[in-house]
Structure 1
Amino acid sequence: MESGAAVVFAKPTDAATIGDFIKSGEAWSVIARCRKCIGTTQPDGGIELLVPKLEIESDNQNLNKTLRAMGIARAFSPEAELGGITKANAKISEVIRSAKLTLDQNGAEGAAYTVIAADIGCIPEPMPNPMRVVFDQPFAFAVFSRSGAPLFTGAYMGP
């Protein structure tokens, strides 16, 4: 892609189904080898890529069961050690993820977020009245990583 980002596509051999290709781990192996240019060559005339436009969305997917199945159970228990996040006695109560990706031969556009809710063993203090801020005209925005790297930038032009 012009931005320097990369997308790698992998297809199963004629004998394999896509389900078997993914479950066996071969799909991810092919993708990793292509990404690292291991055992790959590019034809002299380049590649004409024809990809259907993909619009994939996962909205409010609860990851609690998946994380526990992966062996991440202590973080959901009273024995959780969340000292890097809070000094309070806390445990994770819920992990929710949403993502959206649009991908075609011209590029990709995507967004994702993960919400981690924690139960904290303390009495909540009353919240002060919020200051109201209204964005009712065009505005620009940016989302940055923890390290300060910009992840998404854009502009809202209005309804």
Structure 2
Amino acid sequence: MKITHCVVGDWVTSFNEKQTQSDYTFRLPDGTKVRNYEMMHQRKTYHYIDATNELQSQILFVPYQSSNKTTTQYVCTIILPNRGINLDDAEQELTAQLFNQLIEKRQPKVVDLYLPKFKMEYSFENLKELLEQMGIQDAFNKKLADFQQMTSSSKPVYISDVKHQAVIDVNESGSEAAAVTIVTTKKSSRDEVLEFKCDRPFIFMIREETLDTTLFIGKFMKPSNK
């Protein structure tokens, strides 16, 4: 038996592919510069936190399209250390308690967002042993497992193995529904435009806002094609 969990995220506002350029420079932790680096660009109102005092970082919340189109359900949260700050130092200061405190401070800001396109995959092969250690025993036992409500098979069904694979793919794309519900924000001359340029290592999280749950967390350290 195989159980699959998939979260599909279309940006509320898609990035314009024409604004994706490859003339940026990405700075690695050791000071090395990766040139001709591709990033998407968009100017929009996002929720933003200046966490300089707490994490020496900036935090941005990029929303995904919600199924009901009235509330924000999934959000890509980006934690970008200030220039000159090592990602490891910011990560050591980051705790669940601190993040929950910071999230209450987010405010809408007009932001010039520069975000790389990337795809990451992670797999964990030995979840069966871990789950058994946590007390989940019957599901793996041929005689005790009971999945009659989940399958039409006349034969007994049990779980023989559990493998976990997580994939995140960040690009410009958004669905047609997302395009229909685009909210355009006009900027007056008095609005301050903040630059949020992900040209150095950063932390990203995919969060479910209504349940306050983190579904995926990772670190972008360097362009994979370099």
| Greater per-residue strand proportion | 2
Q: Which structure has more RCO (C-alpha within 8 Å, separation ≥ 6)?
A: 2
Q: State which structure, 1 or 2, has the greater radius of gyration over its C-alpha atoms.
A: 1
TM-score range with shorter-chain normalisation? 0.3 to 0.5
TM-score of the superposition, structure 1-length normalised? 0.42
TM-score of the superposition, structure 2-length normalised? 0.32
